[in-house]
Structure 1
Amino acid sequence: MKIVITRKIPNEIVQLLEQYYVIKMWGKENEPMPRELLLEEVADADAVFTNVADQINQEFFEHAPKLKTVCTMAVGFDNIDVQEATNRGISIGHTPGVLTEATADLTFALLMATARRIVEGMDYLRQDQWTSWGPMLLTGQSIYGKTIGIIGMGRIGEAVARRASGFSMDILYHNRMRKHDVEDQLGVKYCSLVELLKQSDYVVLLTPSTPETAKMIGAKQFELMKKSAIFINTSRGTNVDEEALYRALKEGEIFAAGLDVFEKEPISSNHPLVSLDNVVLIPHIGSATIETRMEMAMITAKNILRALSGEKLLHTVNPEVYERINN
């Protein structure tokens, strides 16, 4: 059997898989496998070790008649046509849970860097602009005791709430379903999206990417926020209207924004958001700690090994596929 790995991964993960199967791995870590080569390689592949940068769509599946499983080194799977995979009896694996704490750390780090204008301060030094101490030099927003509004109270939302409680923040949340147990455990308060946007000093977006969440934060939502508000997005870039965000930042409707994700990735250096001083931009590194990424890679490999051995995956996006396979 053959496994296609679409990005260079650590050797110990490759060695685990190549004990049992033929491996075809793209040799570059920071560049995607060319589409033409990917479609060529999956023609006789039994499994694919993929990531968020690959489009696993109908065209892909039509080129992969032997495929049994697609396992992504990510928790999100909006780049995968799950229904098409299910129709073809192909299991989809992912890595939920393992990246929760790392992503929550990064979310709060982005919040703090944006609020206290850390990147601006570093640029100020590098450009040799610091000539003297000034009473209002690079003043930002306070964090301790402020109000944070979390949109999407999943695992990462709960982890961010725990961090916010350490800063004595008032914690509001909005979620598709109210979570009374989380309210009891963490002291968070449920409210409507409108009230959250109006009351929060920090608005943190942590929803998955679905048709319902597409551009859920746009011009109307930014107008509801305080002028001193800071917007943080570590969910998916497609959940935000980037043109509206640019206008809100440019025109001072909100104070600043911190973004780890973008509508189109990688973001171009000439994107309008890049030109603004009041936005901190980082390249989708929410889970990028050595420990977390290694564990994600290991879970992805184990998902593949289980699938090719006829077992259920550790984490299956489409568990209904097993009924189809058994029938």
Structure 2
Amino acid sequence: MTKPRLWITRRLSDATIARAMRDYDTVVNHADTPGGAEDLIAASADFDAIIPCHSEHFSAEVAAQLDPRLKIIANHSVGVDHCDLPSLKAQGIAVTNTPDVLSDATAELAMLLMLGAARNAVAGDRTVRTGAWDFWSPSFMVGKQVTGARLGIIGMGRVGRAFAAKARGFDMDIHYYNRSPLPDAQAQGATYHDTVESLLGVADFLSLHCPATPDTMDLMNAERFALLPPGAVIVNSARGALVDEDALLAALGTGQVAAAGLDCFKVEPGGNPAFAAHENIFMLPHIGSATTRTRDAMGFRALENLDAFFAGKTPKDLL
């Protein structure tokens, strides 16, 4: 029986590629460069399935030009804001993602961002690394303590709940906004707020864990930064689209926001060059799920969705 032909658009984990090569007629983009619109359209005529990453954009314009041979897009990501789902559905193309498996890795990174931002990690590292550490004082690099502080979480999905679980280890007082309250077993004593504005008023630390949608674009804008307690710390390990970056810079300039920990930006790759001048912004290059275990799990989850699809079953993560 002829194996389905699969294009893997980026360099996934070795274990993922080995499994794909075993089970599919697989072509891997070993150059590891993003696939542009022309690449995606051309590939659709040669492949039955594609495993793309967030770097490949299936817009409505691209979807309309895809060849009927392409039957499924098995994303190597949880977020699918790079896919125009209605347009792909109209073309009869199945779309899946990889939920569950990256929650802990992303939550770990959010904790790193929160601690790094709160405790002057950027300035501290620079001071030691450049040999500028030549004095000490009780007022030297005094940061904001996490233990016992009030934590606001926007979006209590899988990652938000994983982050809350880790924050409980710091005895944080957890508050959250979600589209609806969680069952008690999932809330674990966290306080529910039925509006973002209500949550912001108590968030000494604020962590964003919601998807990027038209409704959440620039969720954190000037008006909402002003609602935070003065000196709050904000963390974004979700999507860059959630934050108005100019408004964040203004809030940092006035001290309304004391520090920020960011793993995602409006422009990726690259980030916002204006952020580089601010040592109270602790930044990482969108590596929330970048652990060996999680990358293997994401790749396997994408392949499991393909396995189900080509066996005539409904993929577990069909969107």
TM-score of the superposed pair, with normalisation by structure 1: 0.91
The answer as to whether partners of 1:3 and 1:24 remain within 8 angstroms in 2 is: yes
Please list, as runs of the form range in 1=range in 2, the aligned pairs for 1:1-327 lying within 5 A after superposition: 1-29=4-32, 31-61=33-63, 62-182=65-185, 186-191=188-193, 192-268=195-271, 271-317=273-319
**For the residues of structure 2 that align with 1:37 and 1:155, how far apart are their CA atoms?**
33
1:308 positional shift: 2.5
Letter in 2 for 1:2: R
SS in 1 for 2:116: helix
**For the residues of structure 1 that align with 2:312 and 2:277, how far apart are their CA atoms?**
51
Change in Cα spacing, 1:113 to 1:89, as seen in structure 2 (3 Å) is: same
SS in 1 for 2:112: helix
**For the residues of structure 2 that align with 1:244 and 1:205, how far apart are their CA atoms?**
16
1:182 positional shift: 4.6
Change in Cα spacing, 1:56 to 1:111, as seen in structure 2 (3 Å) is: same
1:99 positional shift: 0.8
Worse overlay, 8-17 or 142-151? 8-17
1:101 positional shift: 1.0
**For the residues of structure 2 that align with 1:146 and 1:17, how far apart are their CA atoms?**
46
Letter in 2 for 1:50: P
Change in Cα spacing, 1:14 to 1:51, as seen in structure 2 (3 Å) is: same
**For the residues of structure 1 that align with 2:140 and 2:70, how far apart are their CA atoms?**
59
Report Cα offsets for 1:104-133 as digits up to 9, x if no partner.
Answer: 111111101111112221111122211021
The answer as to whether partners of 2:106 and 2:288 remain within 8 angstroms in 1 is: yes
1:310 positional shift: 2.3
SS in 1 for 2:201: helix
SS in 1 for 2:153: strand
**For the residues of structure 1 that align with 2:154 and 2:17, how far apart are their CA atoms?**
38
The answer as to whether partners of 2:37 and 2:62 remain within 8 angstroms in 1 is: no
Worse overlay, 305-314 or 284-293? 305-314
The answer as to whether partners of 2:122 and 2:281 remain within 8 angstroms in 1 is: no
Letter in 2 for 1:58: A
The answer as to whether partners of 2:111 and 2:163 remain within 8 angstroms in 1 is: yes
The answer as to whether partners of 2:232 and 2:259 remain within 8 angstroms in 1 is: yes
Identity of aligned residues (%): 34
Worse overlay, 131-140 or 52-61? 52-61
Change in Cα spacing, 1:19 to 1:165, as seen in structure 2 (3 Å) is: closer
1:267 positional shift: 2.6
Q: Number of residues paired by the alignment? A: 314
1:153 positional shift: 1.1
For 1:321, the equivalent position in structure 2 comes to none
1:20 positional shift: 4.2
**For the residues of structure 2 that align with 1:283 and 1:121, how far apart are their CA atoms?**
19
The answer as to whether partners of 1:4 and 1:42 remain within 8 angstroms in 2 is: no
Change in Cα spacing, 1:110 to 1:119, as seen in structure 2 (3 Å) is: same
SS in 1 for 2:223: helix
Letter in 1 for 2:149: K
Change in Cα spacing, 1:126 to 1:306, as seen in structure 2 (3 Å) is: same
**For the residues of structure 2 that align with 1:155 and 1:12, how far apart are their CA atoms?**
25
TM-score of the superposed pair, with normalisation by structure 2: 0.93
**For the residues of structure 1 that align with 2:249 and 2:67, how far apart are their CA atoms?**
41
For 1:323, the equivalent position in structure 2 comes to none
Report Cα offsets for 1:85-109 as digits up to 9, x if no partner.
Answer: 1112211111101111111111111
For 1:324, the equivalent position in structure 2 comes to none
**For the residues of structure 2 that align with 1:54 and 1:275, how far apart are their CA atoms?**
31
1:143 positional shift: 0.8
Worse overlay, 68-77 or 208-217? 208-217
**For the residues of structure 1 that align with 2:159 and 2:244, how far apart are their CA atoms?**
22
SS in 2 for 1:199: coil
Structure 2: give runs of 5+ residues left out of the alignment: none
**For the residues of structure 2 that align with 1:35 and 1:60, how far apart are their CA atoms?**
6
Report Cα offsets for 1:18-72 as digits up to 9, x if no partner.
Answer: 334322221134x313543333222221100111111012333313321110011
